[in-house]
Structure 1
Amino acid sequence: MPPAVSERPTRIRVDLDHLTFNLRSIRSHVGVPVMAIVKANAYGHGLVPVAQHLQKQGVEQLGVAFVEEGIALRQAGITAPVLVLGGIFGRQVAQFIAHDLEITVSSLDKLRQVEAAAEALGRKAVIHLKIDTGMERIGVHSYSARAFIEAAVASRWCVLKGIYSHLACADDPRSAMTLQQLERFFEACAHIERVGAPMPLRHLANSGGVLHFPDTRLDMVRPGILMYGVLPDAAAQRTIDVRPVMSLVSQVVYFKVVKAGNPVSYGATWAPSRDTRVVTVPIGYGDGYPRALSSRGEVLIRAHRYPIVGRVCMDQFMVDIGQDSAWNEDEVVLIGSQDGNTITAENLAQAAGIIPYEVLVGLNERIPREYSGG
């Protein structure tokens, strides 16, 4: 990394000890193996460093969205089982098999594509069947899965390791749909029992399922955002003790007094009613910090909360500190704690009108990441 980037005061701090704590907490709570989801750059925490740490902790499985993420893990020396959760194209299948990546098979046609590629390579493919129980995204509908499942069981070139579905509403503990999806999933799995084949790993519970629906935990769970210590939704209940893994910090880069009535930032959308002190912070929507936090977000400086004023710019934003004092290079906490005061990813999401997932995965590679613990 070039020195000009590594010296940037804005940075993401990743606490690997908190990641370890969360994995242990989830394992203890569910009592079954864990597939840790590390897609989307490990929810903004850094794909390879996070996966390397989880592998050291003995995580049973990793999950990614795309074959490219899986290949990046293999090239970094990750040997743990990796399931690619997303849909596949026939031309990609050889890459899955060559890099020992487990494949989501979501239709009879996809199964045939995988079989053909495996036969051509002379090497069996490890697959998980995707059943659609209500998301209407990818996967065979549970009510028409019989032929699909029977073909997978009978396949000569595919090793059937898992069968799974995805919960649409489990973030809400009052969701009636979740139990409907569980019923549909069991109906699909019953086809495996009918043909007398061994039952593969059944996995259904995402973060919401882990938190709220014990019956969905089955043979393995797939925590995503919960692994990083963040709740998936404002309706979610903290039934497991997890700790935030990410902090986002910067520093004051400029201080000035703004006269009453003088507007701040693009569009002149905010102006102080009296003379005030304003500091500039060098991070903006170009880094993935939400522009929706314009005149709505808050930061911590010297353990006090202060409002963002005016529009968030591409590379910086301004903060009104009133009549208080701040100095250039003072630490600014955007996510995290400072002397007992805390701003969470959930707080940012609520202020911006988005979900916590968007806060985490939106923070891009322009921000250096630092790792501690582990």
Structure 2
Amino acid sequence: MSDTCRPTKCIIDLDAYNHNLDVIEDHVGGAKVVPVIKADAYGHSLRLVVPELIARATERVAVALIEEAVRVRAAGFAGHIHVLGPTAAGQEHLYRDQDVEHTVVSVAALDQLVRAVGGQRCQVHLKLDTGMGRLGVIFDQAETLIAAAVRHRSVEVVGVFSHFANADSGDLADARQQLERFHQAVEVFEKLGEPRPLRHMANSGGVAQLPESHLDLVRPGILTYGVYPSPETERTIDVRPVLSWHTKTSAEKVVPAGWPVGYGSTWRATAPTYVATLPVGYADGYLRHLSNRSDVLIGGKRRAVIGRVSMDQTVVEIGPADPNRPSAGSAATDVVLLGRDGEQHIDAEELAGQAGTIAYEVLTSISVRVPRVPLGGTPQITIEP
């Protein structure tokens, strides 16, 4: 999609993305970095990110779904792709056809996979539950899964992994307990006389502040896009935000004292007030919970969002009516929704705090109708949407 279709767009700074990968690689030492590019690269666009990874000769990436892996492979990525979620029945052929690595979460899932591949070789990562409570066998039952996996000739155990629940917090006691459990479970390979596969556990929080979790691989996600996973996470790496979100005013005018703005009339002018309408709303991913709470940047100054965010439009307060300014402006004034304008900056964490959510949701909620426009980086290739 051309960035000329509408004034609302996200700029994806690919030089910042490469910088972030560089500093993360330096931070984790000998561990291999596996960029997590699920959810359309956390809202940053696989179409833009994958060519950078190809240019860097990245060996491995991780996604959540086989459909995402198919897109990554179609983009020309020839390295290893690991689907972090379990394999759904009937999708096994896609893994084989695309040369993608499975996640196995139980003995039952392993047996189903072995039956489906019919003796053909498949590569798997075994998922252990060390305290997240979602996928994987409980760590002290790992021997059953590991023994079953190494017994099957059609199964190559490429990796064994777990996932931190609290590695982004200020208190790392739970994360360290999870890591201890993981090490205990992995000892089963030695007990069985089997070679130890690739071990990986560190997410963005673990990468940033738990160096003992930097095992054979690390799996940073949001950190690669220049955003820390939590306000509590120690800022140990100089990452830079990759995404900024821009629009232009579509209308500007003065509303009289007492005049309401937006559905529900939740804001009323206390005096004649200059306001501007922006062509962006919750259908674009500008969260409705930001109504009457957030700011935007216009001319390097903060301007408050007033009234409820609508599906396609949002109104901001410019300031008191000025007799020297026309009552209706020409519009098309530049607006920053997320990013920097002069000395002012609005980041994903700020919007998340105002909306009562997390930065992950802010980024991944920006909808596909907002064009992603590259800045810098490698010359782009075309990837089917």
Q: CA deviation at 1:372?
A: 1.2
Identity of paired residues, percent? Answer: 45
Give unmatched runs, 5+ long, in structure 2: 378-385
Alignment partner, residue 194 of structure 1? 191
Deviation for aligned residue 1:95: 1.2
2:51 alignment partner in structure 1: 52
Q: Contact 1:285–1:313 (CA<8 Å) still a contact in 2?
A: yes
SS in 1 for 2:267: coil
State the Cα distance separating 1:145 from its structure 2 match: 1.1
1:19 to 3, 17, 20: 17
Residue 345 of structure 1, aligned match among 343, 348, 357: 348
In the other structure, the counterpart of 2:380 is none
- Match for 2:17: what amino acid? L
Counterpart of 1:39, as a letter, is K
How far apart in 1 are the matches of 2:148 and 2:126?
11
Contact residue 50 and residue 75 of structure 2 kept, 8 A:
no
- Tell me what 1:96 maps to: 95
- CA deviation map 1:290-325 (0-9, x unaligned): 000000010000100010000000001000011377
Instruction: Measure how far apart 1:281 and its partner are.
Output: 0.5
Name whichever of 43-52 and 272-281 sits farther off: 43-52
TM-score, normalised by the number of residues in structure 2: 0.93
Which range moved further: 132-141 or 316-325?
Answer: 316-325
> CA shift at 1:237, angstroms?
1.6
Asked if structure 1 preserves the Cα contact closer than 8 Å seen for 2:84 and 2:102, the reply is: yes
Match of 1:349, as an amino acid? A
Partner amino acid, structure 2, of 1:254: A
Out of 23, 26, 29, the position equivalent to 1:28 is 26
CA contact (8 A) 1:202 1:218 kept: yes
Per the TM alignment, residue 154 of structure 1 is displaced from its structure 2 partner at its CA by: 2.2
Q: Does 1:317 align with 2:340?
A: no
Structure 1 moving runs of 4+ over 4 Å: 324-327
Correspondence for 1:234 = 231
1:116 aligns to 2:119 (yes or no): no
1:332 maps to 335
- How big is each residue's C-alpha offset from its partner over 1:162-208, in whole Å with a ceiling of 9 and x where there is no partner? 00000001110313110110011011100001112111110000000
Question: When the two structures are aligned, how many residues end up with a matched partner?
Answer: 370
Answer yes or no: is the 8 Å Cα contact 1:173–1:213 preserved in 2.
Answer: no
**Do the aligned partners of residues 90 and 191 (structure 1) sit closer, same or farther apart at CA in structure 2, a change above 3 Å counting?**
same
Amino acid at match of 1:89: A
Q: Distance in 1 between matches of 2:76 and 2:35?
A: 17
Question: Among 279, 282, 289, which residue is 1:282 paired with?
Answer: 279
For 2:286 and 2:252, locate their aligned partners in 1 and report how far apart those are by CA, in whole Å: 21
Distance of 2:220 and 2:369 partners within structure 1: 27
Aligned residue for 2:268, secondary structure, equals: coil
- What's 1:365 paired with? 368
Displacement of 1:6: 4.0
Structure 1 gaps, min length 5: none
Residue 107, structure 1, aligned to residue 117, structure 2? no
The answer to whether the Cα contact below 8 Å between 1:252 and 1:327 also exists between their aligned partners in 2 is: no
Q: Which amino acid counterpart does residue 260 of structure 2 have in structure 1?
A: P
* Partners of 1:118 and 1:48 in 2: CA distance: 31
Distance 2:375 2:281 in 1: 25
RMSD: 1.4
1:80-159 correspondence to structure 2 within 5 Å: 80-119=79-118, 122=120, 124-159=121-156
Work out whether residues 100 and 123 of structure 2, in 8 Å CA contact, stay in contact via their aligned partners in 1.
yes
SS at match of 1:277: strand
Alpha-carbon shift at residue 327 of structure 1 (Å): 4.8
